[in-house]
Structure 1
Amino acid sequence: MKYLVRDKIFAIGDDYWIEDERGRHAFLVDGKALRLRDTLELKDPDGQILVTLRQKMFSVRDTMTIERDERPLATVRRKRLSLLRNHFRVTLVEGTGLDVSGRVLDREFAVEYEGDLLAHISRQWFHVRDAYAVNVVREDADAALLLAVAVCVIRMAERERED
């Protein structure tokens, strides 16, 4: 299933819809303003919070956490620096991990688990200006988690570019 994300400068307090491939609202990204740290909630169309994304305050490297039901689900960190590609590691609480690599700032990257492609993020599928697609390729994959990972790594890469 492909999801369309409108690509704009994300600021705290911004809310935006992620649409499915039929143009229906699938998820709401709700930015929380006036918080000490960068916080976003990914909600279903009925307003139910699916996952919460938070910037970790006191860490050596830029880190974001993903929580479900107010419990940690995953931690997102930059894996290593490369001139052409970005690499991030998503460590799930049960100890497994996802690898994110590609050109994050260009919105051309992949999310993999042990070499298996879970999602491909690209601007190529949509001709809408300032938008990118998150193609969740496995039907058994957690779409909300993969969308949260995409939002996290893009925010982290944007913050790093600004610094």
Structure 2
Amino acid sequence: MYVIREKFFSVGDDFDVLDEHGTKVFHVDGKVLSVRDKVVIEDPSGQEVATLHRHLVALRPTYEIRIGGEKAAEVRKKLFTPFREKFTIDVPGPDDLEMKGNLLDHEYVIERGGEEVAAVSKRWLTIRDTYAVQIAAGIEPLLIIGAVLALDLALEREKDEKSDE
């Protein structure tokens, strides 16, 4: 299980992703947030292991996840999903993933082919403004954590754009 602090993008500061024992697993550099909404994920020794950035020219919110310099996935909001938001994690090949549930409140699952591979919840933790990410064995943690952060960025940007209207 991984623990992520909620609403970190509004501050744009750095933060650590912890495991269930409170040990630092990843460091997220929020200071590079820019026009492209770029985020750098580092291992505990400070080596860059993944990046996340927003595509500027896209019909809907789209974020690219790169792991070890290679494109790992694009996270995109589905265009027509009545009554609830859904995001697709488009990975190379046929095994795309889908995020569904209550995305705004951090209570959702990530599925591949209808099978749950990760779950996100605030209810598992008593720490304020944090949520947990539980990832199934055999699933790349950086892919899931990157996708969760991309969703947070997209929802934060959407909220900011609505408040500017």
**TM-score normalised to the size of structure 2?**
0.89
Q: Secondary structure at the match of 1:89?
A: strand
Residues 32 and 38 in structure 1, CA contact (< 8 A), matched pair in contact too: no
Taking the aligned partners of 2:25 and 2:85, their CA distance within structure 1 comes to 28
Going by fraction, where is helix more abundant, 1 or 2? Answer: 2
Residues 10 and 156 in structure 2, CA contact (< 8 A), matched pair in contact too: no
Aligned-residue offset at 1:140: 1.0
Q: Structure 2 stretches of 5 or more lacking a match? A: none
**Are the structure 2 counterparts of residues 70 and 94 from structure 1 closer, same or farther at C-alpha, using a change threshold of 3 Å?**
same
Aligned-residue offset at 1:39: 0.3
My pick for the range that moved more, 111-120 or 9-18, is 9-18
Going by fraction, where is strand more abundant, 1 or 2? Answer: 1
- In structure 2, the partner of 1:153 is 151
**Are the structure 2 counterparts of residues 19 and 102 from structure 1 closer, same or farther at C-alpha, using a change threshold of 3 Å?**
same
CA root-mean-square deviation = 1.7
Counterpart residue type for residue 146 of structure 1: I
Residues 12 and 32 in structure 1, CA contact (< 8 A), matched pair in contact too: no
Residues 75 and 87 in structure 2, CA contact (< 8 A), matched pair in contact too: yes
Aligned length: 160
Taking the aligned partners of 2:13 and 2:57, their CA distance within structure 1 comes to 24
Taking the aligned partners of 2:33 and 2:5, their CA distance within structure 1 comes to 23
Which consecutive segments of 4 or more residues in structure 1 shift more than 4 A? none
Residues 12 and 39 in structure 1, CA contact (< 8 A), matched pair in contact too: no
My pick for the range that moved more, 27-36 or 141-150, is 27-36
- In structure 2, the partner of 1:139 is 137
**Are the structure 2 counterparts of residues 34 and 121 from structure 1 closer, same or farther at C-alpha, using a change threshold of 3 Å?**
closer
Aligned-residue offset at 1:61: 1.0
My pick for the range that moved more, 43-52 or 31-40, is 31-40
**TM-score normalised to the size of structure 1?**
0.90
Taking the aligned partners of 1:103 and 1:34, their CA distance within structure 2 comes to 25
